[in-house]
Amino acid sequence: MQINHQKSERKPRTRRGSKDNPPTGGPRRGNAGISARPTPQTKFSIYDGTDRLGSFRHDGNSFEAFDRRGRSLGIFSSERAVIDAIDSAGAKS
């Protein structure tokens, strides 16, 4: 009896460029190098140590500030003015 082995039509593949094995020489990046971009709905929080004082949202040329309970403190033209407003509102609470 003679046994003949047939060659497989499938070639062994090298795993290059997958999530677990990136191509050599380049930096590893999560999400394929795409970073999250802030939108007008993105809120940034302001903390004093571990206490959250409030948050703000950047929309074009204006900034809207919120206290720690989410109530609006107003619309400001600079980030520094927003931080000052949130800080003073936190001092009153």
The band of 8, judged by pLDDT with boundaries at 50, 70 and 90, is: low
Q: How far is CA 75 from CA 25, 27, 51, 59, 66, in A?
A: 47, 40, 23, 10, 9
pTM over 0.95: no
- pLDDT the model gives residue 49: 85
Query: 2-35: b or e for each residue (b if 16 or more CB lie within 10 Å)?
Result: eeeeeeeeeeeeeeeeeeeeeeeeeeeeeeeeee
3-state secondary structure of 55: strand
